[in-house]
A and B are shown apart, each in its own frame.
Chain A
């Protein structure tokens, strides 16, 4: 199946700094990418949906100015956590979807990025 990668896999940053997480679709073009957040022992919560070349659509309660999402190409989306605080510490998982369709498009998930803000 298709592969989605994330970089870095783990990051530790100081409170007040910004950190960027990359999500790449390695062998397909992702027209749509999704960012999820997972707190320990909890489910994945959808943060935002991004389509290549357009602004991301954020879920209710997600601060768009804090979680900047850029989907500049069909294989790359980035999530930047700005002015990070300890409560932003979480496991961030991206997901990428191929073009439209019924049986497709399949949605593939990255391995996740563990963010720890100290």
Chain B
């Protein structure tokens, strides 16, 4: 079965420092990976996705993610954190490419940026 794991419930970073939110995946076949962000009492906002191609994917709000096949990881990164980046982040995997495929979410990581 396809799945993603987010090993950290919470990540704390000082403003201006680089941040990393970890995600590892388990898929059969080629992975189709996503990062979403959720602000309190709000829906999900799409940040970026990886289908194929360059291992470094650039997304919204200055975020990027690095696909590492050998480590089965898809960590989210940002060079310089902002207080406004504080939110709940979800890694997700799509179970295939067909119309029957689904998006399955990781457990989420709460990112807290201190001023």
- The interface of chain A, by Cβ under 8 A from chain B, is 1, 6, 31-32, 34, 36, 41-46, 49, 51, 91, 93, 95, 97, 99-100, 102-103, 105, 107-112, 114
Cβ-neighbour of B46 out of A1, A6, A44, A49 (below 8 A): A1
Tell me whether chain B's interface is mostly helix, strand or loop, or mixed: loop
CA distance A44 to B107 in the complex (A): 8
CB-based contact B42/A43 at 8 Å? no
Q: A91-B41, A93-B43, A99-B99 are in contact. List 20 more A-B contacts (CB 8 A).
A: A31-B99, A32-B99, A34-B102, A42-B107, A42-B108, A43-B90, A43-B105, A43-B106, A43-B107, A43-B108, A44-B90, A44-B105, A46-B104, A49-B102, A93-B44, A103-B51, A107-B94, A107-B103, A109-B43, A110-B43
- Ranked nearest first, the 5 interchain pairs of A and B with the lowest CB-CB distance are A111-B43, A109-B44, A100-B99, A112-B43, A44-B105
Q: Which of B43, B90, B103 has the largest count of A CB atoms less than 10 A from its CB?
A: B43
- Complex Cα distance A99/B99, Å? 7
Distance of B33 from chain A, by nearest CB (Å)? 13
Chain B residues at the A interface, C-beta cutoff of 8 Å:
36, 41-44, 46, 51, 90, 94, 97-100, 102-108, 110
Interface of A is mostly: strand
Contacts of A108 in B (CB 8 A): 46
State A71–B107 Cα separation when bound (angstroms): 28
Closest to B32 in A: A102
Q: Are B102 and A46 in contact (CB under 8 A)?
A: yes
How far is B97's CA from A99's CA once the two chains are assembled, in angstroms?
11
Shortest distance between the CB of B23 and any CB in chain A (Å): 12
A44 contacts across to B, CB distance below 8 A: 44, 90, 105
Closest chain-B Cβ to A98's Cβ sits at a distance in Å of 10
Q: A6 to B94: give the CA distance in the assembly, Å.
A: 23
